[in-house]
Structure 1
Amino acid sequence: PDALVAEFLRTSRDLVAAQRDVLMTYLGGPGAGAVVQAPAPVAWQPAAVATVAAPTAPTAQSVLALPAAASPTAAAGPTPVAEPEAGATASPTDPDAVLDAVLSVVADRTGYPVEMIEPELDLEADLSVDSIKRAEIAGELAVRLGLPLDASGELDSLSTARTAAGITGLLVERLTGTGDTGDTRPEEETAAADDGTPAESTAEAEILAPQRLEFTEEPLADVTGTIAAGSAVLVLGGGELAPVLADRLRAAGASPTLVPAGELPTATADAVVLLDTLDAQQPPLPDALPLFQAALAGAPGTVVAVERRTEGAASGLRGFFRSVAREYPDLKATLVEVAADATADTVADAVVTELAATEREPVVLTDGGRRRALRLTPTDLGALAATGAGPAGEGQSEAEAAGLDRESVVLLVGGARGITARFARTIASASRCRVELMGRTPVPAPSEDPATAGATDRAGLRSAFLATGLTSPAEVERLVGAVLAEREVRATVDALRALGSEVRYHCVDVLDTEAVRTTVKDIYAEHGRLDGVVYAAGVIEDKLLAEKTTESFGRVFSTKVDGARAVLDAVDVLPRGPRFAVLFGSIAAALGNRGQCDYAAANDALEELGRRWSTDERRGLTVHWGPWAAAETNGGMVTPALMRSYAARGIKLIDPDEGPLSLLRELAWGAPEVHAAVYTASGW
């Protein structure tokens, strides 16, 4: 109630200030120069939610004449166009005036004083302004500066800028009519609906129990077309295979150019074929990222890569190509998977066939002349899953069927926060099993420092740290993030103990192979057994493929893949290893996602790791989760702002209570030979 009252008073204050200033300017009064001093904002009050826009979009001049705190989005009616005062220098194309507007909005959204926000400060890394908040900032700036609200591409490109200076530069370009207004956003960063609806949507996301899907193979029609005569084709790498393919291409009427392995293409072509992915000794990504970027930079109409599916390969190329297809909708991007024993002639024929195909399939399986695509198909776990504990049950029968009881031991990596913590609570409630948690967050103190304990949210913590005299937003955000992470770990441990489970937390970097091995040995020595593993560690560094660095790609890929491999290798040497290992993937791997080529590739690679680890006695399972709804602990889940964005786009969210029960049912009754499944609330 206090927060609601404070929000009402704040928005009322802004509305009155805006109306006063407009009227004073209109009547020839002091106008923008006279700003009513408003009380300092309450530290814990929520950010402004602009739900009513002026029916007539104000011009840039009239908006810039308003005081920074008086957002026109709060106006209840048409805004008169005010004539600039004599001697006024504010201009819609004046970089300094635009920068002032940008800094004002960023300050309003973050709670930091304007003077603490440097133009080159990284909004996400230093101020925790994620993509959704950047989109909200872009929407408010569009109104203040007179950009059309239906130009969703412009708003989305603004939301991708990472600094106030970057946003300012884009705004000046838009206001002067220069620069590209194309849509360059990562899909998951889209915070405006296709009709230009501002990010702050009042729509409520639909929250449902997830449905289960599996990939099934679907035959593709025979290719009857041919390669266009004279088509220029770049063949990258391939060794002895390259000349064989070149001969096939010439016979088909194309004009091939061979580029030796290790060289980046500089010429443009109608199509590009990447052959070095066929027999790579190591997963080609992330090292091959510059090669893919160079190939795509030439704007070819078709890109084809070839991979030989061998046992244990964890390349992640399926997820990567699905994301390429999302980012480049006008490009035919296809990964062709050939049989392990495919000859050079067979591979060359498969490539020529795919270059002539018209389907836009990101992944094509081929052997013996048969071409198949992978389709997500709704499946169920049979009658037992439907009649076990039931949708509203607490999972006891599922836990028993999965072999979990009070004596069982389950290790959850990344399990003290987010959706993994939710699953930990579910299995603790259902079985009272012993739980071992592993994560990057330092082991928290038993109780929080009194200086921050009274701050209930991020805004309150910012105020608490600013009150100590800190002047660096980046340092404040680091401290705020650390406190919130420790709170979540502490809450998870306390909740598990309250449910009757023994629990320990270990601070371990999953990329430290020796530390992982030592911790797993310690867990086994403590209990004499380890029954199950859940791996959910990961990082996200979203950026469009053309802007992604190899180093960033490597961080995302290795945290998922190398970390999971380290854990699976560590449990492999135990005298009595676990019966199951669940690897938490993402819907991005199954569908691809703009701005997440690295994350999609990493989660896709998990499938092969789980498949390779599986035997007749144990099951490795990768679960690709769709987005989860917000819960009382939000790490790794959808934030309320992103929930509104998803609602505007019609994307349904997984119920945080039903998601863990779905996984428990999968472990209880899922077929042992199934090593990957998708759980999502949306039908896709």
Structure 2
Amino acid sequence: DLEADLSVDSIKRAEIAGELAVRLGLPAGSGTDIDGLSAARTAAGITGLLVDLLAGPAESAAAAPAPAPSVEPSTTVEAEILAPQRLEFSEFELPEVTGSVEGGSTVLLLGGGELAPVVAERLRAAGALPTLVPAGELPETTADAVIHLDALDTADSPLPEAFPLYQSVLAGAPRRLLAVERRTEGAASGLRGFFRSVAREYPDLVATLVEVAADAGPEEVAAALVTELAATDREPVVLTGAGTRRALRLIPTDLGALAATGAGPAGDGVAEAEAAGLDRDAVVLLVGGARGITARFARTIASVSRCRIELMGRTPVPPGTEDPVTAGATDRDALRAAFLRSGMTSPAEVERRVSAVLAAREVRDTVEGLRALGSQVRYHCVDVLDTEAVRATVKDIHAEHGRLDGVVYAAGVIEDKLIAEKPVESFRRVFTTKVGGARAVLDAVGTLPTGPRFAVLFGSIAGALGNRGQSDYAAANDALEELGRRWSTSERRGLTVHWGPWAAAETNGGMVTPELMRSYAARGIKLIDPEEGPLSLLRELAWGAPEVHATVYTASGW
């Protein structure tokens, strides 16, 4: 079983199916069957479907499948690797809604307390047939439209607790799904990212998060929801108030003339580091910073400033020397072979051990590389969800150096899976690791007598635009924006950077693999240059406006 034995989830199976279609030269029009390939759970199931696609229905009934036709290898498309473009969200006004709610349409109102009857009355006046479902209960019937009201006045994010409710609602295949929340400096809900992902996974559904003013009363909220139910535009996030409806678009923006010339002729980031307050005495904490793109940023600031670097991650502190069983295995394939030779037979266990070895190597290489660049480095093995351990580590760092100048938070886990197939605990794990961990770190550094001047939270373009199979990850990264905004003051800046995909480098943790690079290239998706990405962040810290708390950096026109 590809998923149970090898952890090849539905998203990865779709990538494999697409690669097979290209390599085997499936006939024109067979792309409509890719979903069938990606749904197959075993290698034998995939093979059977391929035989059908290659040989045709009549021939595939034969006992012995015909060999696949010889296909000339297609020209490999090289990935385009560029310096990232900077974008910010900008509001724009939507057209006035001139239509009306469909007469006789059924609408489920989920929760809402005293607001629910007000919305129901408005719906009846518009000709709809509302049904109230008490808070905490799953709907027992389906409807044309569903409106979730319980996110309006919650003290904390409705996610991940509301995820089973959304799963149940989406399984009923409504034509419209709405939720409503207030635009306040309250909970980091992540609903924008979630609804953006729902819209991508369910193209036949119109899914909209309606954001109302902080002081909107029940009648105003009800009016906004009924209006949105009659709207024909397919915006996943709509901001209402002052008689207008507005949506969000990513707009390319620059950092101004100073940023364009600030690096000087070398363009190596030295001027930016100085402007951001990073010198040899500065101290920067990077959470999740011993691997992936965060380690790449650590190397950059070490090379231009020699600042003191504290790394925090969940990978255990690696031993000084590696086990002889694996020491000579240089890549994933060689490590698999080494573990198989040692007598290991479970594919899932082999993959776990391989990943653990590669993670330990990356941590070891990062620490050694930073020291070679001239920085003082310490690595702390800490679970970011252990708030006491996080607080104690932050306190120790400040006691050691007497200061903490900046924080970069990039911890998180990815467990991609379509909403319909997503276990609730998996959603909770992805969302809580990112959001709960960021909250723990920001709370800890916020108690220091001389706290950092900046905290950068690494998000993802999935949070800004949504992504199929990443509803939890998109919601978590979107929620970071509010955490960073709330942490900010006149003396410190909280910034969420939503990164697009980075090209592979000498270490691939947190970046796309060479195989996925080829997939992106075939789809025309450009990748961030690993050399330019860190320099872009340094420029942002040096020249970015303090009141800007979220940006997107990507090489592709998403």
Cα separation, 1, equivalents of 2:339 and 2:324 = 12
Aligned to 1:413: 287
> CA deviation digits over 1:489-508, x for unaligned, max 9?
11111111111100011111
The residue number in structure 1 matching 2:226 is: 352
- C-alpha distance in 2 between matches for 1:129 and 1:339: 40
1:557 equivalent in alignment to 2:431: yes
Aligned to 2:399: 525
* Residues 570-585 of structure 1 mapped to structure 2, 5 A cutoff: 570-585=444-459
* CA distance in 2 between partners of 1:130 and 1:290 (Å): 19
Check the 8 A contact 1:143/1:149 in 2, yes or no. Answer: no
One-letter identity of the residue aligned with 2:223: D
1:243 aligns with 2:125: no
Contact between 1:410 and 1:436, CA under 8 Å: does it hold in 2?
Answer: yes
Compute the displacement of 1:153 (Å): 3.9
Task: Name the counterpart of 1:330.
Answer: 204
Moved more, 128-137 or 271-280: 128-137
Which one of the candidate residues 35, 51, 76 is aligned to 1:202? 76
> Which residue of the partner structure matches residue 79 of structure 1?
none
1:155 and 2:29 correspond: no
Percent of aligned pairs with the same amino acid: 76
C-alpha deviations, 1:142-178, integer Å up to 9, x for none?
A: 988x97574224234423545446647877998998x
Counterpart of 2:95, as a letter, is A
1:259, CA displacement in angstroms? 1.4
Offset at residue 131 of structure 1 (A):
5.2
* Counterpart contact for 1:132–1:199, Cα < 8 Å: no
- Residue number in structure 2 paired with 1:315: 189
**For the residues of structure 1 that align with 2:353 and 2:75, how far apart are their CA atoms?**
31
Instruction: Report the equivalent of 2:350.
Output: 476
Q: 1:444 maps to what in 2?
A: 318
- Map 1:121-270 onto structure 2 (within 5 A): 122-125=4-7, 135-136=15-16, 140=20, 148=27, 150-161=29-40, 163-164=42-43, 167=46, 202-270=76-144
CA deviation string 1:213-262 (max 9, x = no partner): 00011011111111121111111111111111111111111111111112
Q: Structure 2 vs 1, CA of residues 387 and 121 (structure 1 numbering), >3 Å: closer, same or farther?
A: closer
Question: Could you tell me which residue of structure 1 aligns to residue 521 of structure 2?
Answer: 647
Letter of the aligned partner of 2:361 in structure 1?
R
Q: Quick one: structure 1 residues 390 and 204, their matched pair in 2 at CA, closer, same or farther if it must change by over 3 Å?
A: farther
| Number of the residue aligned with 2:337 | 463
Residue 427 of structure 1 corresponds to 301
For each residue in 1:66-91, what CA deviation from the matched residue of structure 2 results, as whole angstroms up to 9, or x when unmatched? Answer: xxxxxxxxxxxxxxxxxxxxxxxxxx
Give distance in 2, aligned partners of 1:169 and 1:285: 40
Is the partner of 1:664 in helix, strand or coil?
helix
* In 2: Cα distance, 1:383 partner to 1:228 partner: 52
Q: 1:522 to 1:373 in 2, by over 3 A?
A: same
Letter in 1 for 2:38: S
Contact 1:428 1:500 in 2 (8 A): yes
The answer to whether the Cα contact below 8 Å between 1:531 and 1:578 also exists between their aligned partners in 2 is yes
When Rg is computed on C-alpha atoms for both structures, the one with the higher figure is 1
> Aligned pair in 2 of structure 1 residues 165, 540: CA closer, same or farther (>3 Å)?
farther
Whether the 8 Å contact between 1:584 and 1:625 is mirrored in structure 2 is yes
Alpha-carbon contact 2:269-2:304 (below 8 Å) kept? yes
Structure 1 CA distance for aligned equivalents of residues 73 and 459 of structure 2? 27
Q: How many residues matched?
A: 544
Q: Return the offset for 1:394.
A: 1.7
Higher relative contact order (CA 8 A, sep 6+): 2
Q: Matched residue of 2:151: which SS?
A: coil
Q: Taking structure 1 as reference, are residues 307 and 176 closer, same or farther at Cα in structure 2, changes over 3 Å only?
A: farther
In structure 2, which of residues 425, 429, 441 is the aligned counterpart of residue 567 of structure 1? 441
Match of 2:375, SS state, is coil
Equivalent residues in 2 for 1:583-622 (5 A)? 583-622=457-496
**What corresponds to 2:498 in structure 1?**
624
SS in 2 for 1:212: strand
Q: Separation in 1 of the partners of 2:299 and 2:158?
A: 38
Preserved contact between residue 142 and residue 149 of structure 1 (Cα < 8 Å) = no
* 1:152 partner amino acid: G
Q: Which residue of 2 aligns with 1:283?
A: 157
Partners of 1:534 and 1:438 lie apart in 2 by 10
Structure 1 length-normalised TM:
0.76
Q: Which residue pairs with 1:389 in the alignment?
A: 263
Shift of 1:469: 2.1
Query: Quick one: which of 146, 162, 166 aligns to 1:272?
Result: 146
Q: Would you say the 8 A contact 1:588–1:600 is kept in 2?
A: yes
Aligned runs of 1:90-109 on 2, under 5 Å? Answer: none
1:681 aligns with 2:516: no
Using the TM superposition, give the Cα deviation of residue 269 of structure 1 relative to its aligned residue in structure 2, in angstroms: 1.7
* 2: CA distance, partners of 1:512 / 1:162: 36
Query: Equivalent residues in 2 for 1:69-88 (5 A)?
Result: none
Distance 2:257 2:440 in 1: 37
CA distance in 1 between counterparts of 2:158 and 2:286 reads 29
Check conservation: 2:143, 2:174, Cα contact below 8 A: yes
2:174 aligned residue: 300
Partners of 1:269 and 1:335 in 2: CA distance: 18
3-state DSSP class of the match of 2:188? coil
Aligned match of 1:363 = 237
Letter matched to residue 294 of structure 1 = S
* Aligned residue number for residue 378 of structure 2: 504
RMSD in angstroms over aligned alpha carbons? 2.4
Unaligned stretches of 5+ in structure 2?
A: 58-70
- Give yes or no for contact 2:3–2:9 (8 Å, CA) kept in 1: no
SS at match of 1:307: strand
For 2:509, the aligned partner's letter is G
CA distance in 2, matches of 1:494, 1:350: 57
